[in-house]
Structure 1
């Protein structure tokens, strides 16, 4: 029996997830090829070794700092693959930079929502009066059941900013501008823009709705090793085909269907290329590649196509006629923002032993800093490995050197010992291939469903309508499941089950049940 061909563009989390679920549910009837434009798979969840020719040392370069939360679909998948050993033990706390010091906000192992109240008071992030207001506000957030809201209620919640939503609940501007609240938007890489109240409610439920949700798990190695490589191996074991240096240049449409992807086979493609007369260099490494012959371009056909590409990359491969369709035109209005990352390897440990988590809420372009020396079981290097991650928005016009100088100033305030330590290696990058979708007010209605107007083209990516609504690894993974499910349904095959966010338990779940029983709204 001939297999039905499926072509997936993009080998990030979304593309790998789509390929895995198509093969697992496809009963041997599907042949899945995943194309990656470059040499590194994983997209924004990737990492790779950087070989320093001068010192002959290898440094692991991440596209950013990653934290693993209580993900209902990706978490069990990694556990089933035996890969969750790459995640450090859970820490039920958050480190927040406030008034020139690090505050440790620790959740208590008591029923929701009481798990949050003592930690805020003991950390000094807020006093009793503000604490009561914040407690009531968080209670309302946790009780909200987004999936039970009407379409009009969801639009109303998405139309306002998280700050205005907080003001409607009686919180003062002093509280809203405090470090406790600032870390919410900065950890979403949306600064200096405002976050949609709908997206913020979903994010707060993911990371704070009960004691288990507050548990942060850090990666013991690079993200590719911990997350991407187990998925890649599983995809290949299932019979999937993964091809690197295959860049999709155009989505070709004939009539009302996609007829092919135009694919450029370019073995010299490098992320963030810098071209000279005969050489290409890669910011990830000091390697160079001879320019070689011109790339070969072919039209590749399949029965179904999945575009697991970021919004801006998707726009580049669609024709003007496609982009004029309302479904795709909305995608052009989605806002994105580049992330920036900066990693330093020191000759000694520059942070104290209690720097055992990421510090969030920093001033300046980098919102988060962490010392991997205390987070990883087998840290790389002789001393601290300091990772900064932030957003480019307010600093897009500033040169790299200025941003690095700002980061060093902040680092010396947070960990003064770094002033006298020797930096053995430092790597900085920002690029369009690292752009995040921004959950700004009004953005939810612009997010596309997996099924496009073309009956054989489907989209995957954390910017799509996943129902999860949080821009994170879990959102990307679910989007791949949903794209796969659309194809499986059309082939009469069983869909993969997408698990929802877990119930918060405690008083929150009882309050939700009471509202349902009384026929009241479950919204804010």
Structure 2
């Protein structure tokens, strides 16, 4: 445990264990899980105390890997464990024998190309589950996930499983398949579909050198030449992926990042390189079926938690971090000493710690000041009756606020009405709002200038404009029981604007060079978070988990430990394209275009 001054430091996590069989040891015995490396970090020096500053996805992943390797870990978190992934119970909504209605920052989903997160889940005991928390993942029906259109446009399902017969993984074969899939939806003209897919093929066959040296510096909007084509092309193809999935703006998002995600999703749908099903969600509120069991397991292997502790500064001495200054909710200040520090706070919070003294030891950290964060926050609509918007995710593609949603009760293991609220709400339509800067359809204001009530009314109206365009009364009057907006959104009546305490990192053009590695130039400071350079290269739970493992491995290296390194996964790279990528690396070095880029 870290040395702390003063010693008064209260644990206010209040972690629920209702989802487990008593003590974790009983759950381990019941599941027969292998819990990964344990015991002392063999070959390590006596420096084993780690302070993890931040208890979100990255911090918990780092604590998990380090504690299983014998380090003494304490996690400091200012709000709630689980970070943006946590559930947020709606206080005061529980009837007798019920739990509060389950709010959240936004709905969670786990595509098949996630590997780090499912691996961690499989090592978290859960009563009755042979594979731990991983068995709490359930499959959506991808073929019943919908692109909803407004203003009379035709709706369409998202891609189902794309076939990949012999020859699919040639440039021509892949192009034919993807053009056919796009044209099924009748959203864009054949010429536009063919052009867009040609750009995808050019990216997919680009070498890593070109992706980093060229495409990282090109906005996605320019890469797909959106200005040349129709409004439908711009809405569906150029902006669809960037807005709805990663809250990025196509005009400023890095082609390298968006292209990597397009590639990952397409290979996922083709069943290449997947961890499991194409698309999965949890079978209950995130905190109940994942975070609480995780924290309980981490406690059982020695991790300590200090919740309600805000990290204010890092003190330096002798070229290293000597302590972290934290303040609790009562205003008490503690100086935390440790052998190793893992800063697992979000980018916008972490960079507040980079004092002149810290920057003098690692000047590269100053680049983080130029990283861009944007808003992607959720609102939940609790319903008195079921709403048929599909057995998977719904994308409301013409919504000015870039809405996506999911009705959750169909996937949850417990009866919603019998478990949550006052018994009259039967489902939760959880919606992510990914564009807070564009005027809406009711008030003519962007979401960041709307009150909570106005945000609710706007989102509801934009969804109804999509799902009821054909005359169906999918969301009739009276179906809305109540609603809950992410409390990170705070309204200021004096300025008429909202603030956001939990924004999301956006991969803008050229941002890769501004992002740090997990290991800094300061010998005992390591970084974990969705802004750290990772293979997945996106602000996701998967990226956060990957960064926590990278920080762990960096500490093991610094400690000269011979303990087994945390497993690191990479996105799928089809062997059929390796030769083309090798050719492209040579062409890029000579200043030539990708073979499939054409003259555009």
Bin the TM-score by the shorter chain.
0.7 to 0.9
Correspondence for 2:259: 201
CA distance in 2, matches of 1:2, 1:346: 56
Q: Give, in angstroms, the shift of residue 128 of structure 1.
A: 3.3
RMSD: 2.8
Is the 1:411–1:418 Cα contact (8 Å) retained in structure 2?
A: no
Correspondence for 1:50: 90
CA distance in 2, matches of 1:330, 1:433: 22
Decide whether aligned partners of structure 1 residues 141 and 200 sit closer, same or farther in structure 2, where only a CA change above 3 A counts.
Answer: same
Correspondence for 1:367: 403
Q: Give, in angstroms, the shift of residue 2 of structure 1.
A: 5.0
CA distance in 1, matches of 2:437, 2:216: 21
Correspondence for 2:137 among 74, 87, 100: 87
SS at match of 2:475: helix
Structure 1 residues 91-100 or 195-204, which shifts more? 91-100
Correspondence for 1:398: 450
Is the 1:359–1:370 Cα contact (8 Å) retained in structure 2?
A: no
1:82-481 matches, within 5 Å, as 82-93=132-143, 94-100=145-151, 101-107=154-160, 108-110=162-164, 111-112=168-169, 113=174, 116-146=178-208, 149=209, 154-167=212-225, 172-174=229-231, 176-186=233-243, 187-191=245-249, 194-210=252-268, 211-212=270-271, 215-266=278-329, 294-322=330-358, 326-352=363-389, 354-378=390-414, 380-381=416-417, 382-391=425-434, 392-394=436-438, 395=446, 396-415=448-467, 416-429=473-486, 430-431=488-489, 432-481=500-549
1:5-44 matches, within 5 Å, as 5-24=49-68, 26=69, 28=70, 30-38=71-79, 40-44=80-84
CA distance in 1, matches of 2:477, 2:194: 44
CA distance in 2, matches of 1:518, 1:417: 50
Q: In the alignment, is residue 75 of structure 1 matched against residue 132 of structure 2?
A: no
Decide whether aligned partners of structure 1 residues 105 and 120 sit closer, same or farther in structure 2, where only a CA change above 3 A counts.
Answer: farther
Q: Give, in angstroms, the shift of residue 376 of structure 1.
A: 3.8
Q: Give, in angstroms, the shift of residue 163 of structure 1.
A: 1.0
Provide Cα deviations, 1:288-339, integer angstroms capped at 9, x if missing partner.
xxxxxx4321111011101100112113334244357632221111111233
Is the 2:141–2:392 Cα contact (8 Å) retained in structure 1?
A: no
Count, aligned residues: 483
CA distance in 2, matches of 1:9, 1:142: 38
Q: Give, in angstroms, the shift of residue 63 of structure 1.
A: 1.0
Structure 1 residues 383-392 or 6-15, which shifts more? 383-392
TM-score, structure 1 as length reference: 0.84
Give unpaired runs (5+ residues) of structure 2.
1-44, 125-131, 418-424, 439-445, 468-472, 490-499, 589-593
CA distance in 2, matches of 1:175, 1:296: 56
Correspondence for 1:511: 577
SS at match of 1:34: strand
Q: Give, in angstroms, the shift of residue 162 of structure 1.
A: 0.4
Decide whether aligned partners of structure 1 residues 515 and 295 sit closer, same or farther in structure 2, where only a CA change above 3 A counts.
Answer: closer
CA distance in 2, matches of 1:519, 1:317: 39
Give unpaired runs (5+ residues) of structure 1.
267-293
SS at match of 2:542: helix
Is the 2:219–2:250 Cα contact (8 Å) retained in structure 1?
A: no
Decide whether aligned partners of structure 1 residues 259 and 393 sit closer, same or farther in structure 2, where only a CA change above 3 A counts.
Answer: farther
Decide whether aligned partners of structure 1 residues 103 and 514 sit closer, same or farther in structure 2, where only a CA change above 3 A counts.
Answer: same
Q: Give, in angstroms, the shift of residue 127 of structure 1.
A: 4.0
Is the 2:534–2:547 Cα contact (8 Å) retained in structure 1?
A: yes
Correspondence for 2:569 among 499, 505, 514: 499
SS at match of 1:386: strand
Q: Give, in angstroms, the shift of residue 482 of structure 1.
A: 0.8
Is the 1:92–1:216 Cα contact (8 Å) retained in structure 2?
A: yes
Structure 1 residues 108-117 or 40-49, which shifts more? 108-117
CA distance in 2, matches of 1:226, 1:125: 39
Decide whether aligned partners of structure 1 residues 54 and 239 sit closer, same or farther in structure 2, where only a CA change above 3 A counts.
Answer: closer
Provide Cα deviations, 1:501-521, integer angstroms capped at 9, x if missing partner.
1234xxxx3132344379745
Provide Cα deviations, 1:202-244, integer angstroms capped at 9, x if missing partner.
1112222241369221222122234433432342333222222
Provide Cα deviations, 1:261-303, integer angstroms capped at 9, x if missing partner.
112233xxxxxxxxxxxxxxxxxxxxxxxxxxx4321111011
Q: Give, in angstroms, the shift of residue 473 of structure 1.
A: 0.9
Is the 2:220–2:250 Cα contact (8 Å) retained in structure 1?
A: no
Is the 1:412–1:418 Cα contact (8 Å) retained in structure 2?
A: yes
Decide whether aligned partners of structure 1 residues 185 and 296 sit closer, same or farther in structure 2, where only a CA change above 3 A counts.
Answer: same
Provide Cα deviations, 1:474-517, integer angstroms capped at 9, x if missing partner.
1000011111111100111243231111234xxxx313234437
Q: In the alignment, is residue 65 of structure 1 matched against residue 107 of structure 2?
A: yes
CA distance in 2, matches of 1:486, 1:155: 26
CA distance in 1, matches of 2:542, 2:391: 26
TM-score, structure 2 as length reference: 0.74
SS at match of 1:88: strand
SS at match of 2:225: helix
SS at match of 2:90: strand
Structure 1 residues 470-479 or 411-420, which shifts more? 411-420
Is the 1:218–1:376 Cα contact (8 Å) retained in structure 2?
A: no
